[in-house]
Each structure stands twice: as C-alpha cells, then as structure tokens.
Amino acid sequence: MTERITIQAKNGGAFHAYVARPATQPAPAVVVLHEVFGVNEDIRQTCDELAAQGFVAVAPDLFWRQEPDVDLRIDTETDWQHGLRLYMAYDRDAGVGDIADTVRAVSQLAGTTGRTAVMGYCLGGLMTYLAAARFGVDAGVAYHGGDTDSYLGEAGKMNSPLLMHLAEEDEFITKDAQARIKEALAGKPGVTIHSYPGQRHAFSRHKGAHYDAASAALARSRTVEFLKHALA
C-alpha cells in the first residue's frame, strides 16, 4: 500500500513524502533520502522493497525549498543536468532540519512502532551521515555518500548505529576520501563500513548505468539485517 503524506517543517512551510507500507503493522520505519533525481521511480521502488521486508518506508522531498516534487529520470542528460543544478544549490544545513522534521513526523505516524532509521543514496547518503552526527537517529544507512569526507570533523559526534556502503571504484568518492572516511569512523561503536571491489558510484541504483545485481543484492541483504536488528 502506498500513499503521499505532507510533513510540516518546523521553521515554516510543508513538503510531501512518498510512503510504502508493509502488509503487517505496526512496523519500524525507514526514512529514505534521495539522490539528485528527487523522489523518482528508483526511490519509490526502494521504498516498495523495504515495505516488502516489513518496514514503513517514507521518502521525503529534499528539494522542496527549491522546486517541490522533483521526479527526474536517470537516463536523460537533461534530467541529469537539472538534478545537478538542484544538488549544487541545495542547503545542507536546512536539509538536516527537514530530515529531523521528517523523522519526528514518521515516528508518530499511525502504523509505526516509533523506531525510525534514516537511509540515503549519494546526496541522501551524505545527509544520512549528517543527520546521524547532528541530531542522532535510531539507525542510519549511507550508500556512497558524496562529499562525506568534507564533514569528517563531525565524526566525533557520531553516536548512532551506522552502516555505510562504499564502492571502491567510485568516480565521485576517491580512494583517498574513502580511506579518510574509514579512518575517521574507525573504532566508533555501532559503525560498520563495507567496501565493494570493482564497483562504481550508485552500483545499487535500479536500472542505472553501473548497476551490479550481485553487489546490490549483497548490500541490500546487509542493510535489511542491520535495520531489523537496530530497530527491533
């Protein structure tokens, strides 16, 4: 079952979120943070898959302050450039507030247990890391979070369980950046980082140019196991 809800921003305004629900409720929730393409087909499919695994999945519109309800394709240059413009202009600090508002709303949503994780891809992966560091979440899952290495000074505030997936051949996150991410988070209780040899950025994106079924399935199984344990 899917629906769209409206979330009130604490500092004014409102934005939409896609919701996919499991057959059995109440259930723990996962806030799914999108890439540069908005809440598009790929993100909705991810939410539907999480619902099939027993989670209430909620994907908020991160770009609502710039352009509400962005839904871009991954296979056209026009949409890529559109998404990149939104990404470059995105206010990450305001975005952390929007994610906090989403987590707050979702934890009180009918049909949820109150336990809520945040999971994101690329931009969403970075925002998951920032959310976990700045206001704390029940659990966080970050897939190839671009520019995370620019915020490693905040790693010391990390007290949330965090699972991170990194593609070793990521064209947007250098090997040096990946090494510094691992070093900064080394020894943090509850933090696990998995690397995927031979994989490029967004290896888990459905129908993406670098989609790898085996690595995507492995990352997904690790994610589901982590979430079920952390949100129990």
pLDDT of residue 227 exceeding 90: yes
Q: Tens of pLDDT along 159-215?
A: 999 999 999 999 999 999 999 999 999 989 999 999 999 999 999 999 999 999 999
pLDDT score, position 1? 83
Q: Tens of pLDDT along 38-72?
A: 999 999 999 999 999 999 999 999 999 999 999 99
Q: Tens of pLDDT along 182-198?
A: 999 998 999 999 999 99
Query: From the candidates 34, 82, 144, 201, which is the catalytic residue?
Result: 201
pLDDT score, position 16? 98
Q: Tens of pLDDT along 106-144?
A: 999 999 999 999 999 999 999 999 999 999 999 999 999
165 in active site = no
Question: What CATH number does the domain containing 80 carry?
Answer: 3.40.50.1820
Query: From the candidates 42, 61, 79, 170, which is the catalytic residue?
Result: 170
Q: Tens of pLDDT along 147-159?
A: 999 999 999 999 9
> Rounded to an integer, what distance in angstroms lies between the CA atom of residue 227 and that of residue 54?
10
**How many other CB atoms sit within 10 Å of the CB of residue 180?**
15
pLDDT of residue 11 exceeding 90: no
Q: How many domains does the structure of the chain reveal? A: 1
> What range defines the domain where residue 211 resides?
2-230
Smallest CA-to-CA distance from 44 within 76, 72, 64 is with 72
- Please give the single-letter amino acid code of residue 68: P
* Contact partners, residue 62, CB within 8 Å, separation at least 6: 33, 34, 38, 90, 95, 98, 99, 123, 124, 127
194 in active site = no
* Contact partners, residue 65, CB within 8 Å, separation at least 6: 13, 91, 94, 98
- pTM greater than 0.95 (yes/no): yes
